[in-house]
Structure 1
Amino acid sequence: MTRSIIPQDDKCNGWYQLLSDPAPPNRLNTHTDADWLVIGAGFTGLAAARRAAELRPGERVVLLEALRVGQGTSGRNTGFVIDLPHKHDLEGDDLARKQKLLSLNRAAVDDLATLVERHGIDCGWSLAGKYQGAVGERGLKYLAQYERLLKDFDYPYRRLERNALGPILGTRHYAAAIYTANTALMQPAALVRGLGESLPSNVELYEHTPVVGLTRRGGKWCATTPEGEVKATNLLLGSNIYAQEFGFLKHRVLPVMTFASMTRALTDDEMALFSAAPQHFGLTPADHAGTTVRLTPDRHLIIRNQYRYVPKYHDNLAKRMRVRQGHRDSFLARYPSLEHVPFMATWGGACGLSRNFTPFFGKVDDNAWMSGVHQCVGVARGTISGKLLAELATGQDSRQLTDMLAVSGRPALNPPEPILKIGVKTRMMCAARASRSEL
């Protein structure tokens, strides 16, 4: 299979811009053999490579990344590692399924926390929890539903009204919010880079090394890169939406891009808005088409909202500038006194959805396994599923692996273009219009 679309860095990721310059990339420029080939150095691929190397310490693991580690989607999210099941799963009636998802997500939070501490990864890691916020009547309706779901799930939470929220969020824009304590906040590009720098010694990481062709010859997987080739016995795919380019889950993934904008660091005077310690927080919207807000420990405010269908996995500058204006409107609605504070970056990150809200985990071919289509919750899901993918491929058995197989499935087949494009765009436009009060 020859790949037609290769990831490109648009140099707009605000998280990555905050990092120091890395050492020059190690590129693959030769033909080599390996026991394990892992494609994609995001949360899934990094976890898969790490676990394969741990389970098979005498075997060679090659990890290929098209960009620098941290430049891709895993370094572009808003920096939440959430333990709760996501919206569709939380709303379901299957309590046992919810418990499995909660257990898997918490394992991901614990695994990442352990790695951060063990390797001294400087990524602002904090088990700070998160707020689910409502602005107006529509948001309050969704917040009430969320509260009922938490009660049914017997999950501890705390509800705060406008006056209590003001000193925390630095704004009286929110009518109410529900706080849950077991979400970690972090700097995603810094975390992903740190995970890449701390891999076991039998993992060889090659950056700026996109896979332009993938075939199976003589019982081996052969990945062609611009300057070399890897032949491997086993293949682990952490490439998510790009797996379609290799022929896997073809026409079953909906590539969707979400967008964020980041301010410059706030001054001491500007930080006076946030009078409640610890002066950093993460808030997600009760209406899921609403606005996510983060204040980072290094004083950057981040606004995230708006979705686009991106069949080529990228956007364009004109589209991003329209998104940026929408972010500006949302920012000023919350922080009118910070009108003078500019955005330093606006970026998008592509994630994979499916029409039946089903993620994939399992075998895709002889000696080939994949985890992907994470429904926009790739940090926790990618981390734990990548680890368990290596366990599945090496013949391990565990309760976690059984649970992961139970909560995964096969993404639904998409209708043909242009019906798909029209349908997805129409649905997104309707959702955005309905949620205007929460943006």
Structure 2
Amino acid sequence: MNNIKLPADDNSCGWFEILSPEYQQHMSEPNPISGVEKTDWLVIGGGFVGMSATHRLAELNPEQRIVLVDAQKIGHGTSGRNSGFVIDLPHKSDLVGDDIERKRKVIELNRAAIQYLEDKIMRHGIECQWSHAGKLQGAVSERGVKFLEHFQRLLKELGEPHEMLDQASLRKVVGTQYYQQALYTPGCPLMQPAALIRGLLAHVPENVSVWEETPILNLERRNGTWVAQTANGQVHAKNVILGTNIYTEQFGHMKSRMLPIMTFASMTRPLTDEEFSAYGGTADWGLTPADHAGTTLRMTQDRRLVVRNQYRFVPNYNSDLATREKIHVMHRESLEARYPMLKAVTFEHTWGGVLSLSSNSQAFFGELEPGLFSSCCHNGVGVARGTISGKLLAEMASGGDSKLQQNMQAVSGMPARLPPEPFLGIGVRARMAFAKWQSRSEV
């Protein structure tokens, strides 16, 4: 496995940078892996898939050893770079199609993930700004309003509670008249993603050994044992769970089936009392765009505004400083268009995070080879999907079965094969440019 692509995320992720010092410090084994580490279970990747799989494996197999490794500090990668929504309802690709029963299965899975996370948060006292604030979906233009109306019809068909807010009612919450209206749904918790994943890391069970900043450079099966090569040693495992998302293809699986797309966000410093008064809204809310290519907004409990928009196709899974500086300017334009009274409020952090998309809206869940399990390609809804699929992978690999596991298999599939380069890059960039043009009024 030569020329393997390793995570190389930027060092400006706001969620990670504002963590308390004790959460930023290493919570893993102090020395690099050297020689051979033998284990019953190896989990590669400490995001939401890997973390929930690790916890569940330890619960189900208390007499067995679990090793969790991550190429970066856990929470510094994709798991700590999302916008902090744990969405319960069908969202993005899960809205595709008319299969209402499939959508009900998605809701059941998402809510099981929420309950699993909340149980961990309450049991361990994890401080991550967890709240049942719900989610707003906002429309700027008539194009966005039509998306909202379509979603509202689906919610009525599903029997899900919701409220349509007009411009005046919405302004009292979000402090801006920029949006025509918004659809509010109450079942989506909000949180600080890096704090949540670091909190889960701090409370892994005693039969778990963790190594951060330990890339796996090669993975192969030898005589029925999985051998993972690190810079200075090896991990020999009976079973492996890949919580590696787009990096799964670096281990020889899902090649040419996942699109690496980077989304970008910027976070302000906390608003002063005077600035918060001028803003005129409330704290602790989240708004996703009615049109998926629009702008996501968060107001955190500590009065920081987070703006997320702009997408890039990133074959190398990372972005350069020049790109982020340009996007920083675009985010300022989006912020000031909504909050002209906050022009003096600066962004402290601008970062990118990689997600994986499939051309047929399918996510994978299951066994890739004997003893090798994976859940990946979550199409931009990875917190809930990653959490519950990691838990269910651990149960499947441990020989269990359940209705939830059957539901997960029913809503999963195989991401379609993508065309080769240069046709892939040309097509993806053209499609993204067209989507950006279509959604220009919503950004």
**TM-score bracket for the superposition, by shorter chain length:** over 0.9
Q: Which residue does 1:334 correspond to in 2?
A: 338
In 2: Cα distance, 1:333 partner to 1:146 partner: 26
Of the three residues 213, 224, 233, the one matched with 1:228 is 233
Residue 179, structure 1, aligned to residue 184, structure 2: yes
Give the letter for the 1:13 counterpart: C
Larger CA deviation: 384-393 vs 79-88: 79-88
1:8 is displaced (CA, Å) by 2.1
In 1: Cα distance, 2:9 partner to 2:209 partner: 22
- Count matched residues: 438
What percent identity do the matched residue pairs reach? 52
Give the letter for the 1:166 counterpart: R
Of the three residues 246, 251, 260, the one matched with 2:256 is 251
Residue 75, structure 1, aligned to residue 80, structure 2: yes
Deviations 1:331-367 (A, max 9, x none): 0110001011110010011011101000000010111
Alpha-carbon contact 1:90-1:149 (below 8 Å) kept: no
Alpha-carbon contact 1:131-1:177 (below 8 Å) kept: yes
Q: Which residue does 1:104 correspond to in 2?
A: 109
1:212 is displaced (CA, Å) by 0.9
Q: Which residue does 2:292 correspond to in 1?
A: 288
In 1: Cα distance, 2:148 partner to 2:326 partner: 29
Q: Which residue does 1:437 correspond to in 2?
A: 441
Give the letter for the 1:378 counterpart: G
Deviations 1:168-223 (A, max 9, x none): 10111111001000000000000000011111111111101111111111211111
RMSD between superposed Cα atoms in Å: 1.2
Q: Which residue does 1:65 correspond to in 2?
A: 70
Alpha-carbon contact 2:360-2:415 (below 8 Å) kept: yes
Give the letter for the 2:309 counterpart: N
In 2: Cα distance, 1:361 partner to 1:29 partner: 29
Residue 116, structure 1, aligned to residue 121, structure 2: yes
Of the three residues 313, 316, 340, the one matched with 1:312 is 316
In 1: Cα distance, 2:96 partner to 2:239 partner: 37
Give the letter for the 1:257 counterpart: M
Alpha-carbon contact 1:2-1:214 (below 8 Å) kept: no
Give the letter for the 2:255 counterpart: K
In 2: Cα distance, 1:438 partner to 1:405 partner: 35
Unmatched runs of 5 consecutive residues or more in structure 1: none
Give the letter for the 2:25 counterpart: A
Alpha-carbon contact 2:364-2:374 (below 8 Å) kept: yes
Of the three residues 401, 406, 412, the one matched with 1:402 is 406
> Aligned in 2, Cα 1:415/1:9: closer, same or farther, shift over 3 Å?
closer
Larger CA deviation: 266-275 vs 311-320: 266-275
Q: Which residue does 1:378 correspond to in 2?
A: 382
Question: Given the two structures, how large is their TM-score scaled by the length of structure 2?
Answer: 0.97
Residue 362, structure 1, aligned to residue 362, structure 2: no
1:398 is displaced (CA, Å) by 0.5
In 1: Cα distance, 2:205 partner to 2:230 partner: 23
Alpha-carbon contact 1:3-1:212 (below 8 Å) kept: no
In 2: Cα distance, 1:76 partner to 1:227 partner: 29
Question: Given the two structures, how large is their TM-score scaled by the length of structure 1?
Answer: 0.98
Alpha-carbon contact 1:167-1:273 (below 8 Å) kept: no
Of the three residues 378, 387, 393, the one matched with 2:391 is 387
Structure 1 counterpart SS, 2:273: coil
In 1: Cα distance, 2:19 partner to 2:173 partner: 27
